[in-house]
Copies of this chain bind each other. A is one copy, B any other.
Amino acid sequence: IADPPVKPAKKTKEQYVFSFGKDVESPPLDRNLLGGKGNNLCEMSTIGIPVPPGFIITTRACNDYRGSGRQLPEGLREQAINALRTLEAQMGAKLGAPVNPLLVSVRSGARVSMPGMMDTVLNLGCNDLSVVGLAKATGNERLAYDSYRRFVMMYADVVMSVERRLFEKAFDKLKEAEGVEHDVDLSVDGLKKAVEVFKGIYKEELGEEFPQDPVEQMFGAVRAVFNSWDSERAKVYRRVNSIPDDWGTAVVVQSMVFGNKGDTSATGVGFTRNPISGEDSFYGEFLVNAQGEDVVAGIRTPLPINKKQAQETGRTGQPTLEEVMPEVYQQLIDTGKTLEKHYGDMQDLEFTIENGRLYMLQTRSGKRTGMAAVTIAADMLKEGAMSETAALKNVQPEQLSQLLAPVFDQKAKDAAKEKRAAKGFNAGPGAASGLLVLSTEKAVQWAAEGKKVVLVREETSPDDYPGMVVAQGVLTARGGSTSHAAVVARGMGKPCVVGCSSLHVDEEKGVVAAGGMSIKEGEAISIDGSTGEVFFCDLPTSPSEVVQVLVEKTRRPEDSLVYQRFASIMELADKYGTMQVRTNADTPADAKAARAFGAQGIGLCRTEHMFMDPTRLADVRRMFFSTDAASRTEAISRLKKYQKADFAAIFEAMDGLPVTVRLLDPPLHEFIPHSEEELRELSGVLGTSFEELKATREGLLEANPMLGHRGCRLGITIPELTEMQVSAILEAAIECEAKGIKVAVEIKVPLVTTHRELEHQASLIRRTATRVFEETGKTVKYKVGTMIEQPRAALTAEMMAKHAEFFSFGTNDLTQTTFGISRDDAAKFLTPYLEGVPDPESPSELMSILSADPFQKLDQEGVGELMRIAVEKGRRTRPGLKIGICGEHGGEPSSVLFCQSIGLDYVSCSPYRVPLARLAAAQASL
């Protein structure tokens, strides 16, 4: 028997405050306690980087404050004042003193950067006396009063929640009175007046004088930071980003340094490498004699930081830091390298130069383009500055798509500015240029004539698939990023812009108008799927270098630096990834491209597009709708021949890699013509009366086709269909193997709801296989499995696994039914759900209902829960059951991570997302 637990000793006095800076020992690094910002400042200080000294009030102080009815916790006040004294001693200046005053900034700093919380109060310590001392100490009266008026406004706004607008209005009046336009042109007297007016507003609004006691100012700001943790905006942000309420925020109090003390002072921002291209060259901007605010506010145009950059951006005439302050510039470059090495990543820096002395105010990993991400990771890996796993983590999978998309030449885009007609959502990255077509028929027809077309539709439907296949790109006036056009285009790696609401599409007249311009069908149009821009003119595009090397094979690997860097990251991905990546491919071309991108098999080969092929459609319709048995049998046998050839070509492309074929899925009515004219034609072909055919069509129309007569429901009610498809698959496999091509085919049954459906189809497949093997005298190995894409299938997976040799999650359908949301109809409410609707509690705030589009990002709580259940139950019946995912989500990084976490064997995605999925899978394995 263990001893009873000992009562904890009386809590030792909590240390709420930690100093940092050159002359004090920094606390042990602890992002959770010190916040991200504070932690990095301590870290920089420790490794000898010059940072303005200061102190940090911990997240624990914040939580104790919040937990005690907004009382500063015991000891905090005393510790903070002690830390302030230490800081004053370091700086040789006293906070807000009449002579040589110290000013400080007060900032919030949670574990992660959190917009929606109080950010910064600058120039704290200004008061009626210290402003005079500041003017004297800096020899700059303008600086002093400008600092004071800024401080009054910031304090009133940020700490006391007075409306900022009141100050801005008053300031505008003062400028008007002097007849000046810009803030910087206001006279010192004007600034002095501003201070008085601002203090007046403060009193008017709050009923008390502006606080003159610097320590009171400081604790006011500290309390404001603490309180901002519980502001509505911060709460919403946390909820959306799943940040726990009990993290709390730290407060950073740091001595001000002034970049506006004269010509040897400056302020700037920069990246240790080029964040656009990834090139190893410092990239940044700066302003002489300015405060940080000024760079951001865009009042003065910042200057390029070095000569290289000045050249590249066509600003060769402008002074650069490299030229103006060569020593400080070199110190900045060295500091950047030190930080880059320390953090093992390209850094985004903020710095201030005060009287020729460099101070770093902030460092963090820099944001970058996809191109830059790959370049930096590959280069730093080569340099030994990054470990393999760090390099892998350093590229966001989504960024890879930028390396694969075709591109417009930026110069050509700039030159065509006048022809920029509209902007929509950038739904499928890449650039496309071609002739405007407004219908799928015309798209197919013109493409057959060798013309490049861009398909523009009010909105696309499944009927438009053939048009999308042949088009260079797709543009729709309606629909969001979950629309049919967007999803299908992304799947095909096709540039796509959707929801371009200013676009007016008049299909009848064959005209498209926007931005006061209009063009006719057949005229040139260009769309940039990476930016959403639409141009009413032709713009030259080219495939990305990676595609040129891998898919088109028009460029040699050794001639493409981009490809080589891409390849080095992909190599790493395959070294670390444990989950396989397959592709969704319906054609040999898709299969080849995917294989070039590293797919380890086909996870989903849909057969419906094979059916929709115009040369076969007549036979497809004969099979489904003909009442003449002989004609029907003939049609089926012709279709089998077609399908056999399709499958053989795919098997050949995948030689030996597994190919999962899904049996026919869409509802019958998709195969019957919509127009009366076509119906009449079909009536002639089938020898069925027009009226009868029309009645057939009416009979096939469904109230909710997504939940209708489709998937295995077809294969069960029309067993000939399954038989035909299975024969075609297996005969193709047998013929391929005879030619020495290895075949590993898996047949999967779509839209299974009850295990009896699967039992039926599996039995029919096996019986058909036996027949084919008897007829041909040969056999081939094959597997039978099922899609799991209905909630019920997941819930009864233990029974499904009795008949299935593998599972494949169809998360598109599964999301639709789990949510009860049709993807086709969702935009009307999903858009406000994502963007936020007025919060009933405070209608001026937006409340978001969903944090992500569940059709893009797998919903782990709901859909994911069903997947977990299915994996667990399925493998209980059949240990080691092979399970994959083949919905759109298979190519979305967070979803890939989830798939790994629940033990899937593979993800499958569209060919152009294979590299991305490989990277995501590797990251999931780390």
Q: Chain A residues in contact with chain B, CB under 8 A?
A: 702-709, 713, 716-717, 719, 751, 753-754, 756-757, 760, 763-764, 767, 789-792, 795-796, 799, 813, 816-822, 824-825, 828-829, 832-833, 837-841, 847-850, 859, 861-863, 865-866
Contact B847 A704 (CB under 8 A): no
Point out the residues of chain B lying under 8 angstroms from A833, CB to CB.
716
Contact A756 B849 (CB under 8 A): yes
Point out the residues of chain B lying under 8 angstroms from A716, CB to CB.
829, 832-833, 837, 849
Which residue of the partner chain, among B764, B838, B859, B861, contacts A719 with CB atoms under 8 Å? B838
Point out the residues of chain B lying under 8 angstroms from A821, CB to CB.
707, 753
Point out the residues of chain B lying under 8 angstroms from A816, CB to CB.
707
Docked pose: A757 CA to B820 CA in angstroms: 14
Point out the residues of chain B lying under 8 angstroms from A863, CB to CB.
792
Docked pose: A921 CA to B852 CA in angstroms: 43
For this chain, the copies found in one complex come to 2
Point out the residues of chain B lying under 8 angstroms from A838, CB to CB.
719
Contact A796 B708 (CB under 8 A): no
Residue of B nearest to A827 (CB): B709
Contact B825 A704 (CB under 8 A): yes
Which residue of the partner chain, among B707, B796, B829, contacts A717 with CB atoms under 8 Å? B829
Docked pose: A762 CA to B55 CA in angstroms: 44
Contact A818 B795 (CB under 8 A): yes
Contact B756 A825 (CB under 8 A): no
Interface centre among A719, A751, A819, A849 (most CB of B within 10 A): A849
Point out the residues of chain B lying under 8 angstroms from A859, CB to CB.
792
Contact A751 B820 (CB under 8 A): yes
Contact A767 B717 (CB under 8 A): no
Complex A-B, nearest 9 residue pairs according to Cβ-Cβ distance, in ascending order: A707-B822, A792-B862, A704-B822, A703-B824, A764-B840, A708-B825, A791-B791, A702-B825, A763-B840
Contact A753 B819 (CB under 8 A): yes
Residue of B nearest to A758 (CB): B849
Contact A840 B719 (CB under 8 A): yes
Given A795-B862, A820-B790, do A767 and B702 touch, yes or no (CB 8 Å)? no
Point out the residues of chain B lying under 8 angstroms from A847, CB to CB.
756, 760
CB distance from A902 to the nearest CB of B (A): 15
Which residue of the partner chain, among B703, B717, B799, B829, contacts A822 with CB atoms under 8 Å? B703
Docked pose: A847 CA to B707 CA in angstroms: 23
Which residue of the partner chain, among B713, B795, B822, B840, contacts A708 with CB atoms under 8 Å? B822
Docked pose: A865 CA to B705 CA in angstroms: 26
Contact A825 B792 (CB under 8 A): no
Point out the residues of chain B lying under 8 angstroms from A832, CB to CB.
716-717
Contact B825 A705 (CB under 8 A): yes
> Given A708-B822, A790-B818, 8 other A-B contacts at CB below 8 A?
A708-B825, A713-B829, A753-B862, A754-B850, A767-B841, A790-B819, A791-B817, A817-B818
Q: List 20 A-B contacts (CB under 8 A).
A: A702-B822, A703-B824, A705-B825, A706-B707, A706-B820, A707-B821, A707-B825, A708-B825, A717-B828, A751-B820, A753-B819, A753-B820, A756-B848, A760-B840, A763-B841, A791-B791, A791-B817, A795-B861, A795-B865, A796-B861
